[in-house]
Amino acid sequence: MRQSPAPSTPLLAALATCALGVTWSTTSLAGDKPPDAGESLQVVVGPGGTGLDPLAVPEVRCTEGAPEALCRTVAEMLRRDLTLSFIYAVIPSRSYLVDAQAEPLETPNWSDWNNIGARWLVKAEVKGRGPWDVEFRLFNVVDKTNVRVKEQTFKNEAEAGVKRAVHRFCNGVLEARTGTPGVFDTKIAYSVKVAAGVKSVGTISMDGLERAGIVNNGSINTLPAWGFGSVIYTSFIDGKPELFFGRKKLTRDDGHYRKVAVSPDGSKMVASISYGGQSDLFLLSPDGSVQKNLTNSDADEVSPTFSPDGGEIAFVSNQAGSPQIFVMSAGGGGMRRLTHAGSYNYSPDWGKNGLIVFAGMEDGASDIFTVSKGGEIRRLTQDQGFNKDPSWSPDGRYVTFVSTRSDGSGIYIMSADGRYQLLVAKGGGYGNTAWER
């Protein structure tokens, strides 16, 4: 509902505080690095955890003049990806009995790998002085078999292509084991506070090793969302919150724009907009023009997210007195409340698996939960610091989120049930994670 200019409502002010991260560390990340290998591979196992399959990943065979540094990178990436699968536990390399450079790629010494407790084995070989040929293999040590992976041979690759090949092979490993490929070649967008009153937007690879900047213009840039092959975000560069795609401003009126979501087919967007008063959800065309007020209520509606089929939208509304998760049709009808527990629920994201992940705050603590369309709520984090801004992976296997906790603050990835959690980007000031779709 459009209203005459008025101060922001309490919900908008509170959500702005969560979105802009003003209670977070002001540490600059200019020199920040991903966690080192030993630290990054610490997996937090929650209640009810079951064993992971022990997997050996020896050093990569370097042949025909291949550089040792590149081979070490390939080995590190394999170990990180396969740890992030939350299917395998990578056995520390110091316990290996085999000389990786001497053992042929295709013929493992089964007894040596079996004697260290490995049930699975991944090997790789890099050939040449560049561009390089790369071979990967997956073995079942117990059955003494070579398990065929869809993409395991790569030819004539530059360094960037070699890194992509690691992710593609690991995607295939998950497909061979589960029937569904992995998403190790995807990225996570985030906002980060780099100075007082300054936030930038960037992306990080799923393994935490590769970063790229989207915008850092000396202003506040926040609330990234994926669409049209890249990232849409909210920026205050022109004095009020507006939507940008790269350097192109999408908004063209006097509204204050916050979180935006793009439909799965890319045909439309929905954004929370306030025109001087409370915020409603509006349907936008792909070029950013406003088409329709979807909520048109006296309450605040913010943080939209589309269902996997694009037919519904989940969002936050305070029409029940406190921020709760609601759903409605993508056309604006059939609004109903989904969460009936918790005093402050925010940041929903609808996953491919049909579940909506969200953050819930109570007594100063914030945790991550999921809710089904039937209203069944499940907790994913507990007694692990302050957790916020969750986002589903495109396959529905993982959730990324931001956490401040005693054993490391930053961007985490966890399994869909919360059982396994892993720090992939260490540092303060992060917020607003959004996984590439």
pLDDT tens-digit map of 153-194: 999 999 999 999 999 999 999 999 999 999 999 999 999 999
Question: β-pairing, 120-127 with 53-56?
Answer: parallel
Is residue 295 a contact partner of residue 2, using CB atoms and an 8 Å limit?
no
User: pLDDT averaged over the chain?
Assistant: 90
More confident residue, 26 or 367: 367
Confidence of residue 129 (pLDDT cuts 50, 70, 90): very high
Domain ranges of the chain: 10-33+186-435, 48-178
Domain covering 48-178, topology: Rossmann fold (3.40.50)
- pLDDT at 95 (0 to 100): 93
CATH 1.10.1060.10 fits 10-33+186-435, yes or no: no
For residue 31, what pLDDT band results from cuts at 50, 70 and 90? very low
Confidence (pLDDT) at 56: 98
The confidence band for 11, taking pLDDT boundaries of 50, 70 and 90, is low
Q: pLDDT tens digits, residue range 235-266?
A: 999 999 999 999 999 999 999 999 999 999 99
